[in-house]
Structure 1
Amino acid sequence: MDNRSSRLSVAIVAALLAGTAAAQEIAPAQAAAVPPSAAEARAAQQRATDLDSVIVTVERRAQSLQKYAGTAQALSQDDLRGLGINNELRQMQVAVPGLSIANQEGATEVFIRGVGSSNNTELGDPGAAPHINGAYIPRPRGLGGMFFDLERVEINKGPQGTLRGRNALAGTLNIVTKKPELGGEFSGYVQAEAGNRDQKGYETALNFPLGDYAALRLSGYHIEKEAGFKNVGLWGHLKPAGLQDDSAGRLSFLYEPDEKLQVFAMLDVGRELGTGYPGAGVFRAAQAGFEPDDIDMRAVVYRGVQGKVDNKLWGFQGQVRYDFGAVNLEYSGSYRDVDYFQINAAADGNSWPGRDLRERPPGEPASWGGVDYDNFGTNYLQARSQSQTHELRLSSDDDARFRWTTGGFYFHEKQQVGFISLTDKGAFYSGTEFTMPDVDGRSWAVYGDGTFDVNERFRVKGGLRYTEERKSRDGIGGNWTMGFGGDGGVFQTRLGTEGFMPALLDRPSFDVTGLTSNADLARFLLQGILRAGARDTMQQQLAGIVDGTRPNGTCIDRPDIGGNAANCPADGQHSFIALGVPAAQHGSSAFEFTDWRIGAEYDLSERNLLYATVSTGHKAGGFNDSFDVNAIPETYKPEKLTALEIGSKNSFQFLGRPASFNVSGFYYDYEDQVFQDLSVIAFNPDGEASGFALVNRNVGKSELYGVEAEGRFRFGAGFTLDLNALYLQTKIKRGVVADVRSQDFGNGGITSQIDLSGNELPLSSKITFNARLQQAFDVPGGSFDWQILAAYRSAFYLTQYNNRPVTFLRDTAGTVDRIEDSATAGFPDRQDGFTQINAGAGYTTSNGAWRFELWGANLTNKDVSQKALVGSGVNTRFLNDARSYGLRVRWNF
């Protein structure tokens, strides 16, 4: 650790001791405070009870949040609903400092304290592990559809490798659903809501007691909402990205015949429909001299194909627990099935002041001021996953002096993934396809963890977990190459027009061995189309090659395919053809690693806890696309994070009312960090690089440290104030990679390198501060409550490039052509600091039967970039949800 880190460590320890001392001193100082009124006393007592009863299961045991020796937050269903965080997972980050959530192509990306993963391919894994009722979710698609009829959502910060295991590098997000209620009468609720952007929806839950020991709970929800984006182009029939039409249902069963046995089972189903997930292409606006803050990033020029998403998912999980007295036995298992399909909402970037949005006449160059609306180039994604987890766990009684847990974990996932990126009107390049009908991933682990009471106040703890991981994949990957010559030029290929549908996983064959003749290549390309578009030319151009009637294909000369500079030869065939198909992809990897943790806890009093822990976490490794070159490593290792955390948790009396103040300091050592790089996979006859591929490499190492503090204070008249602050420093210590911003496809794809050392990790604000003020009080006929949340985040970078200049190369020898600042090159990379406001208010009748709520999220309608996807000519921002507000009515019975 350098001097700065050492100074920080001293400051952290001082803050912990000061916080604990202050907490201890406040209680007696306030003993003589003016006593609250009877009503205030009852409200304070209730809130004190609520505080002590906030339960988390971070350590695989139910325990009070104030007794957990670590940093975690728990948000109840009421918290989420009151702040407008309802079926919108991305808004969770407003209430949780250090949490960043984005959605790219339906995949939820969770970062905690700057650590996470943006790899959404079939080989990628999340860096912060999502769970539902403690069951691991490998493909976090459709998680927003789980946000109904909940008990709480737990966010656990820091590596959880020992007890949570797989891919809990940054921490975990655990969605805990509402369990059936035993021993009562038939009960439930019905809720309806309406809001801006034509939002309408409902939520319901019905609880069916089955005698005194069993119960069923049936719940469901539906929501429709217009997009926060808008189409400012001429093709007004295209709906913008972000439109929602989501439904889900859940059936839960609970059986508890006595204090020893508990059986829980849950079946859930869901479906997401809409127009795809929002992206704002700011590359061309930046080149025109406009920063993202200078334009309306929700104003997008849509063209070509209509965006669409259809995500079908279902799952089943079960848990059986039995208390043998000194030992508890638990089995839990889950199965999840995800079937995701998306047509990307095709766009010509964003609008900016002075941009010409007229339709570009056929034949005019792309640099002409207008927009080529008749361009159907876009992306199609089909992603399926069938996963199962099984865990058998033994644990001691919660009251034992040595509390231990041990168990075994098994995970198996089968995936089938199809992806194709089409270039309509392409010449020599018409798209890229990666279709993998067989992807297999497995993981086995055994673990043990324990806490020993040295005496009544001092405890030590430790844990160990051993894991083996295996992955394999078979399929195809590479470019669709189609070059058709004519007299005086080259003809383009129209591909993807109205009605087009790729075959993807419905291909009749994935065997590319022995495809040498043009007829074989043409046949394989045609097998990639399930249904041709109304104005496609590819099938006509290739049909004669396949059946042998026209060995050079059928020449088609139409103004809309850009063939104005070429003429068809007299025989109606092309003067030459050049065809290429994706190559076979076969990959596998196998790794083993060990996670551990050690720690100590000391109770200064019943209400004051000091703790220190050192723990590790891993994110699974994998393998790269296979090419017949030595420059690409076959596999990449798992990432590893080692974390030191020192903290203090304190409950005390403030102004005669219950309060709490917690503070922790942490230091992370992030090793074997994976960055994406580019490697040469092909050379032209002159020996110059002519083909590149993205490669995952363990070339990074980073350091993170910071301080996090939270406090809850209660005042008279029913007021409660929650404060939460995070100071975070991140620094990449090592990492030299290809700068994909500089890739020049017009010059063989040559790319410069960039040294990332000294840069900050993406999505890591230095300062995050949340303040939440609530009040509840009696009114005639019932009670009224309101709350407001103000969340501030300081500026952060969206990629690892950190606004560094872009170096463009003239040749593969590394000769520099020019150096441009990132904004001029089209890659502004900084999200300025911002404050977001959420608020809610509600009235509940005295008998609790009716509840009326007003809520608002992102009330100032602040546009915030939550991640960026950059590449050659690409700078796509994924934004937060636009302002939303509305009214809910809930009937409890």
Structure 2
Amino acid sequence: MHNRKTALLCGAALAFALPGLAMAQTAAAPAPATQQDEQQETVLDDIVVTVERREQSLQNYAGTAVALTGEDLKAVGVQDISDLEGRVPGLSVANNGGNIEIYIRGVGSSNNTELGDPAAATHYDGVYLPRPAGIGSAFFDIQRVEVNIGPQGTLRGRNATAGTVNIVSWKPGLNIWDAAAEFEIGNYQQRAFQGMVNIPIGDTAAVRIAGYHLEHDSYYEDVGPAGVGVAEAENNDAGRVQFLWEPTSRLSILLGADYVRETGTGYTGTNYANPLGEGIDPDDIEDPRRVIGRAQTPDLNTRHWGARAHITYDGDLFDIEYTASYRDLVYDYRAVTPLSPFYPGVIANLTGPGGIGETLDNFSQFQSITDSQSKTHELRFYDNEGPLIWSLGAFYLEEDQYAFLGSTGDRGLFFQGVEFNMPDVDTTSYAVYGDMTYSVTDRFRITAGLRYTEDEKSRRGVAARYGFALGAGDFNCCGGVRVGTEGFEFAGRDRTIINPDTNNNGTISEQEIIDFYFNGVSQFGARDNIDDIFANGPVPGGAPNRPACLDTVTGDFWNCAADGRLTYAVPFTGQIFQQVGESQIDFVDWRLRAEFDVTPDNLLYGLIATGNKSGGFNDNIGNAGLAPTYDAEKVTLYELGSKNEFYIGDLRARLNASLFYNDYEDQVLTSLLSVAQIVEFLGGPQQVPVPVDSSLALVVSYSYNAASSRIYGAQFDGGIDLPWNIGLDFNLLYLKAEVVEAEEIQDFRFQADVSPTEAVFQSIDGKTLPRTPEWQFNMNLTQAFPTETMGQFDYVISAGYRSDFFTTIFNGEDFQQPNNPRRRLDDRVDGYWTFDAGFGWTPPGDGRLRFEAYVNNLTDEIHEAAIIITQFDNTRFFTRPRTFGARVRVQY
């Protein structure tokens, strides 16, 4: 019998790591033979993780981490990384228009541009992913997902201020023939398949091949007259092959390659601007995914593949590890956003002078392309035995990107779109590090780690805002100017003119603007007429849809004064800016830790750890003018914790706890600001003279060091093995995250050229950090019923709770109307519960046949995962609706 009194005192006194869902559950499905040993664990058996770059029991890890087994995730219908939202206290995962945003205890980043970096580093089989888009479909044939909470600066390297998420796949097994196939059907016409085969090659080598397919209809529904396809339909394929060779007992070579292809309709979110403008309470909108679609069906095409080599050698004095990888990502998304969610009277509110048909026939759209090729190399020397456990290494990252964002402004008189075209975006990162743990006694250990990192970034490209003045003198005609209709194609990377000043005379003429614009379009749409207006430029496409008065041409102007119609067609100037920027930044991360074994089952620890997220630079102000820089963010974590296992009677139990405090300095905010707002933020025209070629109205993504914050709280997790094969576990987080000191910042929910009295400096002191519910709770109940004649029945029931939280730094405050706040500014997400369940049956026999059913989000709670608020938008991205299905698995 263990020392219960000591265990309970330790458990109640201090703070705790979060195994939470980490335990493998008796209700989980039997796995292929290579996985059988792990799947037979009870709830409280050890979970082996590689949090500190070595295998160890999660219960013996002196810090906060979570390990979610692949079978546990699948049992309740988890499909991809975004479904981790709500499953781990402190972890927030949102799919923001296809960009995976991960926040851990309030530390994260919403800068999804080519210049941005995540604050929570994502790894795939230990390889760092600078752009995690498209990695969601890698959630097949996985052993576990490790979530390391808190700065990992000396352990996992680059940009891990919040923590890390590591997806760990099953590796080949030596001397094992094994294969499995699984078929699944579900609601929304979901169909899924995954298979695996493990083939031994002699006694020293093996290959493991796994594949996956998932498709389902849209979670959205177009209930408007247009009848177009809408967001969140998927048709994905993925494959992975790994080769393991161990020619000697000391040498291991693992080669792997994987491929993911995601297609479908992507993630547009739902724009609430219309109902909020009409005074509609969002709570009165029953289903935010029932929308009024327009124009055309969104189109997503993502390809993400990679190859890696992992070599280890067990030496006499120390071990050596070398990892090399290459990743290639192409994310290409073209979409129009729905006009509005459905509510009674919405069609009447959307109907303009030209009728509802004209409103729906608006091809204002956007296309976003991220093309990233990254290489990593890491060489590490280490020793995991003896009183001194140490690691010394070097890390190198090289990333080359092409980035494109284009939009069309259909049916506009003065705005025809935006283009950011960046053919040359380069990042390199170098780091050297050391980390060691020394056993002073058999029960007392100390740890110290240090890492130096140097990041360099550079970019070359062009940014443009196209605005052509088209209309009559009274602005009452020719609003039918069209661009972006069926068949329209941006030139993208095929653009040949980057600098519109083609004659190099120092000025950009109206003709050069026209030539530049046409060079950015590879084909106009079938009903476009902007090419006809500007003299049928050299781009194919278009149709004879010219406004009636375009037959009379006078110089650069079309003059139709006789019939009172089109009198001019003049391009605005000062809308095209060369983007040339670079930055170099270095920083040091470190950690100190002490841990003490009160008994073999009771651990006390205290640690201090730091992490930095790289700084960078912004878009140029003016034509290749100032590119404002920002410094690295820094998080310093202070944590006290205790981990304890003990018995209550004959029942094995676990209780862990931790107290933590994060000092979050130089916090970077990213927002959409106009040039006018940026100049004012930097000290006004007296400090940053506005270039003569700059458009004050041009809106760009802008990042800046804005605040220092404090994040503190307590975390508890526990579990118990109850009679009748019942397992119960829970985790609870209390979290406070608030700004303690900040500059006054521009209210970037407004544009200076539209609402100059609202887009002014405001205080965010005392505001709660986004995505930080004060209370977060998760619980799992599992049970297995083995029978002699019917085989085994089992189930898992999961519950989760999140209290209220905000999604922007302004916390929904209306500075101009504090007593009557406008709903458009509301970014609060009300507290909610979620419930998931999984059921399984293994028929009598050798366990090679398995039937399962699941329901994810049982009560169909749909809540905002992210909200984007701008001058004209209140766009919300939501958690997955209720899904359910059944699957059968056959093991050969």
TM-score under structure 2 normalisation?
Answer: 0.89
Q: Note the C-alpha offset of 1:78.
A: 1.1
**Quick one: which amino acid aligns to residue 735 of structure 2?**
L
**Quick one: which amino acid aligns to residue 219 of structure 1?**
A
The counterpart of 2:492, out of the listed 504, 507, 511, is 504
Counterpart of 1:622 in structure 2 is: 616
The counterpart of 1:77, out of the listed 62, 70, 92, is 70
Taking only aligned residues, the RMSD between alpha carbons, in angstroms, comes to 2.9
Counterpart of 1:212 in structure 2 is: 203
Question: CA offsets per residue over residues 766-824 of structure 1, 9 Å max, x none?
Answer: 001111000012122421110100100101001111011143xxxxxxxxxxx366852
**Quick one: which amino acid aligns to residue 499 of structure 2?**
D
Counterpart of 2:365 in structure 1 is: 378
The counterpart of 1:406, out of the listed 380, 392, 399, is 392
Question: CA offsets per residue over residues 424-457 of structure 1, 9 Å max, x none?
Answer: 1122221111110100001000000000010000
CA contact (8 A) 2:14 2:640 kept: no
Name the CA distance, whole Å, in 2 between partners of 1:546 and 1:822.
53
Name the CA distance, whole Å, in 2 between partners of 1:346 and 1:447.
46
Counterpart of 1:719 in structure 2 is: 726
Name the CA distance, whole Å, in 2 between partners of 1:381 and 1:22.
44
Note the residue ranges of structure 1 that are not aligned, 5 or more in a row.
1-12, 24-42, 548-552, 560-565, 808-818
The counterpart of 1:704, out of the listed 695, 698, 711, is 711
CA contact (8 A) 1:313 1:336 kept: yes
Counterpart of 1:33 in structure 2 is: none
Name the CA distance, whole Å, in 1 between partners of 2:274 and 2:562.
42
Name the CA distance, whole Å, in 1 between partners of 2:831 and 2:94.
17
Q: Note the C-alpha offset of 1:867.
A: 0.8
In structure 2, relative to structure 1, the CA distance for the partners of 1:46 and 1:495 (3 Å cut) is: closer
Q: Note the C-alpha offset of 1:113.
A: 0.9
Between stretches 198-207 and 353-362, larger displacement belongs to: 353-362
Between stretches 292-301 and 195-204, larger displacement belongs to: 292-301
Name the CA distance, whole Å, in 1 between partners of 2:439 and 2:14.
24
CA contact (8 A) 1:486 1:576 kept: no
Counterpart of 2:881 in structure 1 is: 882
CA contact (8 A) 2:134 2:331 kept: no
Counterpart of 1:90 in structure 2 is: 82
Q: Note the C-alpha offset of 1:660.
A: 1.4
Is residue 773 of structure 2 the alignment partner of residue 765 of structure 1?
A: yes
In structure 2, relative to structure 1, the CA distance for the partners of 1:742 and 1:488 (3 Å cut) is: closer
The counterpart of 2:750, out of the listed 742, 755, 772, is 742
Tell me, what secondary structure is at the counterpart of 2:137? helix
Name the CA distance, whole Å, in 2 between partners of 1:821 and 1:478.
40
CA contact (8 A) 2:478 2:566 kept: no
CA contact (8 A) 1:739 1:753 kept: yes
Q: Note the C-alpha offset of 1:662.
A: 1.0
**Quick one: which amino acid aligns to residue 143 of structure 2?**
E
Q: Note the C-alpha offset of 1:224.
A: 0.7
CA contact (8 A) 2:44 2:720 kept: no
The counterpart of 1:541, out of the listed 533, 536, 548, is 533
CA contact (8 A) 2:531 2:537 kept: no
Name the CA distance, whole Å, in 1 between partners of 2:872 and 2:568.
32
Q: Note the C-alpha offset of 1:291.
A: 3.2
Counterpart of 2:834 in structure 1 is: 836
Q: Note the C-alpha offset of 1:622.
A: 0.9
**Quick one: which amino acid aligns to residue 193 of structure 1?**
E
**Quick one: which amino acid aligns to residue 522 of structure 1?**
I
**Quick one: which amino acid aligns to residue 409 of structure 1?**
F
In structure 2, relative to structure 1, the CA distance for the partners of 1:822 and 1:730 (3 Å cut) is: farther
Name the CA distance, whole Å, in 2 between partners of 1:92 and 1:46.
21
Is residue 794 of structure 2 the alignment partner of residue 801 of structure 1?
A: no
Q: Note the C-alpha offset of 1:683.
A: 7.6
CA contact (8 A) 2:106 2:772 kept: yes
Q: Say how many residue pairs are matched.
A: 831
Tell me, what secondary structure is at the counterpart of 1:129? strand
Tell me, what secondary structure is at the counterpart of 2:534? helix
Question: CA offsets per residue over residues 316-339 of structure 1, 9 Å max, x none?
Answer: 111000001220000001111001
1:531-680 residue pairs with structure 2 within 5 A? 531-543=523-535, 556-557=547-548, 568-569=560-561, 574-580=567-573, 581-628=575-622, 634-676=628-670, 678=673, 679-680=675-676
Tell me, what secondary structure is at the counterpart of 1:347? coil
CA contact (8 A) 2:529 2:546 kept: no
CA contact (8 A) 1:743 1:752 kept: no
1:287-436 residue pairs with structure 2 within 5 A? 287-295=277-285, 296-357=287-348, 360=351, 363=354, 372-396=359-383, 398-436=384-422
Question: CA offsets per residue over residues 685-715 of structure 1, 9 Å max, x none?
Answer: 9x99655544311121110001111111111
The counterpart of 1:244, out of the listed 234, 253, 258, is 234
Name the CA distance, whole Å, in 1 between partners of 2:591 and 2:735.
23
**Quick one: which amino acid aligns to residue 367 of structure 2?**
Y
CA contact (8 A) 2:419 2:463 kept: yes
Q: Note the C-alpha offset of 1:266.
A: 0.8
Q: Note the C-alpha offset of 1:828.
A: 1.4
Counterpart of 1:6 in structure 2 is: none
Q: Note the C-alpha offset of 1:64.
A: 0.6
Tell me, what secondary structure is at the counterpart of 1:523? helix
CA contact (8 A) 2:468 2:571 kept: yes
CA contact (8 A) 1:48 1:658 kept: no
Name the CA distance, whole Å, in 1 between partners of 2:207 and 2:538.
60
Is residue 129 of structure 2 the alignment partner of residue 137 of structure 1?
A: yes
Q: Indicate the percent of aligned positions where both proteins have the same amino acid.
A: 39
Q: Note the C-alpha offset of 1:378.
A: 1.6
Question: CA offsets per residue over residues 12-56 of structure 1, 9 Å max, x none?
Answer: x99973537999xxxxxxxxxxxxxxxxxxx99997677444111
Name the CA distance, whole Å, in 2 between partners of 1:689 and 1:50.
60
Name the CA distance, whole Å, in 2 between partners of 1:442 and 1:401.
36
**Quick one: which amino acid aligns to residue 813 of structure 2?**
R
Q: Note the C-alpha offset of 1:487.
A: 5.3
Counterpart of 1:448 in structure 2 is: 434
CA contact (8 A) 1:512 1:583 kept: no
Q: Whose relative contact order is higher, 1 or 2, with alpha carbons under 8 Å and at least 6 apart?
A: 2
CA contact (8 A) 1:20 1:608 kept: no
Counterpart of 1:853 in structure 2 is: 852
**Quick one: which amino acid aligns to residue 159 of structure 1?**
P
**Quick one: which amino acid aligns to residue 520 of structure 2?**
G
**Quick one: which amino acid aligns to residue 53 of structure 2?**
R
Question: CA offsets per residue over residues 453-474 of structure 1, 9 Å max, x none?
Answer: 1000000000000000000000
In structure 2, relative to structure 1, the CA distance for the partners of 1:253 and 1:684 (3 Å cut) is: closer
Note the residue ranges of structure 2 that are not aligned, 5 or more in a row.
1-5, 17-35, 551-557, 680-688
Tell me, what secondary structure is at the counterpart of 1:740? coil
Question: CA offsets per residue over residues 488-547 of structure 1, 9 Å max, x none?
Answer: 436443111111111122212212234622222111101111111111111111236889
Between stretches 630-639 and 518-527, larger displacement belongs to: 630-639
Name the CA distance, whole Å, in 1 between partners of 2:767 and 2:388.
45
Name the CA distance, whole Å, in 1 between partners of 2:165 and 2:115.
21
CA contact (8 A) 1:522 1:546 kept: no
Question: CA offsets per residue over residues 609-641 of structure 1, 9 Å max, x none?
Answer: 101110001111110100139997621011110
Tell me, what secondary structure is at the counterpart of 1:741? coil
Is residue 293 of structure 2 the alignment partner of residue 280 of structure 1?
A: no
TM-score under structure 1 normalisation?
Answer: 0.88
Is residue 242 of structure 2 the alignment partner of residue 256 of structure 1?
A: no
The counterpart of 1:124, out of the listed 101, 116, 136, is 116
Is residue 446 of structure 2 the alignment partner of residue 460 of structure 1?
A: yes
Tell me, what secondary structure is at the counterpart of 1:522? helix
Is residue 212 of structure 2 the alignment partner of residue 221 of structure 1?
A: yes
